Amino acid sequence: MLLSRDAFVDIFPSAPQLTMPVHELIQRFVQLGLDPSKCRAFVEQLVKAGRLRADDFHLDAFDDGGLVLSEQALYFDVGEWTFTAGTSEGFVSSRLEPDQLEAAADIVRIAAHGDDLDELREACDFLDDDVFARMTRKDEGAPRWPLADRPGIYRREHASLLVRSRTSAVLLDPLFMHTMGMKPLRRAPSAVGSDVLDAIAITHSHGDHWHLPSILAAAPSADTTVIVPRVPRRSLLTSHVFDEELALVGQRRHVAEWHSTMTVGDIRIDVLPFYGEQPCAEPPGPPPGLRSFGNCYRFETPDFSAIALVDSGRDPDGDLVDVVRRSSELRGPPDVVLACMRNFPSPFFGGLGHYWAALPFARLRELFDQFRRGTLPFTTAGTEGLVDVCAASGARYFLPYADGFEAVGAPISDIGWGMREPAEAERIAVLERRLREAGLHAEARTWNPGDRACFGADRALEIVRC
């Protein structure tokens, strides 16, 4: 890796709709008690000030209870892209046309897998000498992930897992180069060059799961397959069309449909539905087809089986409890289920501040009343929902992941990435108690980024600390 850990590179679609402060609106709407006339007056004020475009809104929706955002604001195309490179001390951004993306991707590949600094400098001729020097200064004592040289599940940064069998490996949701948007990742090692890696699998489009430069850097070559969900149409809830974007950067990809199965070496992968982490848990929800499209995955190897559920839960289209039950009926109980432990009170969750705009205003007011009364259902499983997941799956073990990153070998002290939420170990203790109260034999275990979960001849779980 020719870049320092303080360096960042990003490649992302540029569209006016993506910079619209939709997430700011819900904060003000809440302050206004979601009063229709007050919310409408506030939006009209922003339109008059030029902060919002009038044709992005149906202002009458505040009165008739319909969708506030127009069709063009909910669904959009991308004409230009932005390429950003630099460090915390300064960076450079430039606009790219789609036909320039492959050249930008090659810069990431050279930085990740090359060993010729002159070649990288020539490719980065748009950077001044100072920025380039800072990006490529040598790291002293940079952390490293333990070598993934034997079967098991290796916990990496945030939602990234390396599933290693006897012959093959699949990396889930690499994020290690996303150091501009997530500063703690500057303490995360690079995932380049130290492991066998046969494929990358992506769950969904949120910025803590999909990061194009991290994928390009993690993939050994442009021929490495990236497994992605199908996205019928780019929208406010799924702002990346994975297949199209990977094609533009010249990366091999495979669009994995729900309920399909594929193999990577001696790893069989079942593609499972991604329910939950949508604008609401119960019907009615957004219009049909407007959702955060994603996949969950079941991995079967000769030594263990695992279901990675990421941030899933319940939404108007389905429930992850039914997903794991069906998988267990088809394949047998998995050895381990892995999932995020956070509770998302969508659409009043700061991390998903744009989700409100996918709901009719009348429905939004109903959900706000539930939120104020403390009865709003979570769209992620959370601790309580994970009891049902363990029961339905018949799994022997539960392991947490996708709860943040602080350092290699360090426990997650705040599963909210600094939002003063509980420590991961606290949530595990609660889940373990709930499992015992429910009469279940599944064990909830703790582990940290850098640790390996391995399974013995009797499929008993052992956590190997890094």
pLDDT in tens, 331-364: 999 999 999 999 999 998 877 888 999 999 999 9
Any idea what the Cα angle at residue 424 is, between residues 421 and 425, rounded to 5°? 125
Q: Supply the pTM of this predicted model.
A: 0.94
Q: Tokens 């100072």 appear where? A: 130
Length of the chain measured in residues: 466
Cα separation of 461 and 466, whole Å? Answer: 16
Instruction: Write down the pLDDT at residue 194.
Output: 60
Residue 20 predicted with pLDDT over 70: no
Cα separation of 2 and 120, whole Å? Answer: 8
Instruction: Write down the pLDDT at residue 15.
Output: 63
The mean pLDDT of 453-460, rounded to a whole number, is 94
- Among the listed ranges 36-40, 90-94, 181-185, 389-393, which one has the minimum average pLDDT value? 181-185
Instruction: Write down the pLDDT at residue 335.
Output: 98
Choose among 389, 203, 368, 205: nearest CA to 280: 368
Fold of 8-15+77-138+148-464: Metallo-beta-lactamase; Chain A (3.60.15)
Residue 180 amino acid letter: M
The mean pLDDT of 90-94, rounded to a whole number, is 85
Tell me if residue 97 falls in helix, strand or coil.
Answer: coil
pLDDT bucket at 16, cuts 50 / 70 / 90: low
Burial of 115 (0-12, 13-18, 19+ CB in 10 A): exposed
> What would the pLDDT profile of 142-181 be if each residue is shown by its tens digit?
788 999 999 999 999 999 999 999 999 999 999 998 887 7
Instruction: Write down the pLDDT at residue 19.
Output: 44
Residue spans per domain, the chain: 8-15+77-138+148-464
Residue 17 predicted with pLDDT over 60: no
Instruction: Write down the pLDDT at residue 106.
Output: 93
Residue 249 predicted with pLDDT over 90: yes
Q: Is the CB of residue 319 less than 8 Å from the CB of residue 372?
A: no
Instruction: Write down the pLDDT at residue 342.
Output: 93
Q: Is the CB of residue 378 less than 8 Å from the CB of residue 385?
A: yes
Instruction: Calculate the average pLDDT of the chain.
Output: 92
Instruction: Write down the pLDDT at residue 22.
Output: 79
pLDDT bucket at 191, cuts 50 / 70 / 90: confident
pLDDT bucket at 18, cuts 50 / 70 / 90: very low
The interaxial angle of helices 382-393 and 424-437, nearest 10 deg, is: 50
pLDDT bucket at 424, cuts 50 / 70 / 90: very high
The mean pLDDT of 267-275, rounded to a whole number, is 98
